[in-house]
Structure 1
């Protein structure tokens, strides 16, 4: 069953088109990626899916009952400990109120080292956390809210390999439990390696791919990065 379907979607500002004829589908439990340069329109597309913006034309069928959206900009109050910021997120989420113990228990089932790392970050004040710690903590918190559709806007941007690995482990674990995840990035290797399929957003349009090999072949490239560059021209 498709949990999200987008047909013939258009969006722009005062005659300046940003997205043209967008077509996209996501099935229940599927992990789908969106590649694209900064400014290509990935965040705009996510805002349209979440009804933050209204399309100029087209239709979005979103059957999700418990949707979660992680934006690019994360600025927790510096004096709050991360577990306090996490409680704020869960308290604002309808029908969801897992406590810290329940969260750590679920994380331990996914990965004991991941659970320990999350617990360590939870004790720290936001002001004392690195960028990677903040992004990974909020990403994992959203993945633990039992949402059926999770939208992540470049969660690994600027994140070191350790936390990037934790984020992808959490994403795959959530999908294994039935969540659908739509994730954007400009890192070609991580999207082609981890996602079941992906789209490239360039020149205001989405192009669908089933594999990195297909991506390189279609754009006459010898590497994923070359395919990304060719697709962006």
Structure 2
């Protein structure tokens, strides 16, 4: 099978709200795809269509060669929704066993919990877990049925840095074994660390679909970094922030910005011009789209 999941000209409306607008997207075997977009861009709606929780207003959704509305098809996928209510009276091991029992091919419980750094919690009641531990458990459950394809909606929301990296390792291990993943995240460094392919959505449409490097090159923005106490308003600045005593400016025209900076007479030092991060590319894409609406 050359495509594991597909949308073809999919539109989804909620009353008068257009959540997705003629979206066509293919997910191929072995891919780890990062889905980026601001709140309301349509990320969760797209995942809900793929896993059969919603139906399109128009267009076609296919998963594993069939309809996501078919329970037999859904046995081959795993999902962690953005919000998951876990039964607090069950123990961790009991919940894993319960979820696994719904699948003909189930993961080994000990190996699954170890992969997501939950092995020591097997006998703990879920109600006694921390928020981060509950989130790791919710993600682990997506892998309980040895799925071919996993959908993770904001999988590391609320986790500290150490817990996020442990979860990244679990996702990477599944992918290294040939698994396919589509994940959404507001942590742009997470997409940069995990994904091979990045899909940027905004206003319910696909704005970009390529590798991390290609998206950086596509928008052509650069980061101008310098040390300055105060700066005048400069042309073409898409985004800016201060960090560790330096000012970072994102622009599509760094030469013009530097010329105007010198002309302004502002005192500065340590000028550097660097390629963008994925976050800066994302800001440029979404800002460009918003300006056309």
The alignment's TM-score, normalised by the length of structure 1, stands at: 0.86
For 1:44, the equivalent position in structure 2 comes to 45
Inter-partner Cα distance in structure 2 for 1:210 and 1:96: 33
For 1:122, the equivalent position in structure 2 comes to 122
For 1:212, the equivalent position in structure 2 comes to 212
Inter-partner Cα distance in structure 2 for 1:169 and 1:63: 25
Inter-partner Cα distance in structure 2 for 1:132 and 1:105: 20
For 2:103, the equivalent position in structure 1 comes to 94
Inter-partner Cα distance in structure 2 for 1:103 and 1:126: 16
Deviations 1:3-22, CA, capped at 9 Å, x for gaps = 11222111112343111121
TM-superposed deviation, 1:74: 1.9
User: Is residue 133 from structure 1 mapped to residue 118 from structure 2 by the alignment?
Assistant: no
1:70 pairs, out of 70, 73, 80, with: 80
Within-5 A mapping of 1:114-193:
114=115, 117-193=117-193
User: Is residue 3 from structure 1 mapped to residue 24 from structure 2 by the alignment?
Assistant: no
TM-superposed deviation, 1:122: 2.2
Structure 2: 5+ residue runs without aligned partners?
66-72, 223-276, 288-293
For 1:53, the equivalent position in structure 2 comes to 54
User: Is residue 35 from structure 1 mapped to residue 36 from structure 2 by the alignment?
Assistant: yes
TM-superposed deviation, 1:230: 2.6
Is contact 2:80–2:141 with CA below 8 Å preserved after alignment? no
Is contact 1:121–1:137 with CA below 8 Å preserved after alignment? no
Relative to structure 1, the CA distance from residue 80 to residue 199 in structure 2 (aligned partners, 3 Å threshold; closer, same or farther) is same
Relative to structure 1, the CA distance from residue 178 to residue 124 in structure 2 (aligned partners, 3 Å threshold; closer, same or farther) is same
Structure 1: 5+ residue runs without aligned partners?
109-113
Inter-partner Cα distance in structure 2 for 1:105 and 1:14: 44
Relative to structure 1, the CA distance from residue 231 to residue 121 in structure 2 (aligned partners, 3 Å threshold; closer, same or farther) is farther
Is contact 2:198–2:212 with CA below 8 Å preserved after alignment? no
TM-superposed deviation, 1:107: 6.4
Relative to structure 1, the CA distance from residue 106 to residue 71 in structure 2 (aligned partners, 3 Å threshold; closer, same or farther) is closer
For 2:290, the equivalent position in structure 1 comes to none
Relative to structure 1, the CA distance from residue 77 to residue 141 in structure 2 (aligned partners, 3 Å threshold; closer, same or farther) is closer
Higher helix share: 1
For 1:232, the equivalent position in structure 2 comes to 286
Radius of gyration: which is bigger? 2
Aligned length in residues: 223
TM-superposed deviation, 1:231: 2.4
Cα RMSD, aligned residues only: 2.1
For 2:239, the equivalent position in structure 1 comes to none
Deviates more, 1:129-138 or 1:202-211: 202-211
Is contact 1:69–1:152 with CA below 8 Å preserved after alignment? yes
The alignment's TM-score, normalised by the length of structure 2, stands at: 0.69
Relative to structure 1, the CA distance from residue 173 to residue 107 in structure 2 (aligned partners, 3 Å threshold; closer, same or farther) is farther
Structure 1 residue ranges (4+ consecutive) displaced by more than 4 angstroms after TM superposition: none
TM-superposed deviation, 1:154: 0.7
Secondary structure in structure 2 of the residue aligned to 1:37: coil
Deviations 1:85-143, CA, capped at 9 Å, x for gaps = 2222112x231445xxx3324666xxxxx47x321122322222111111112212322
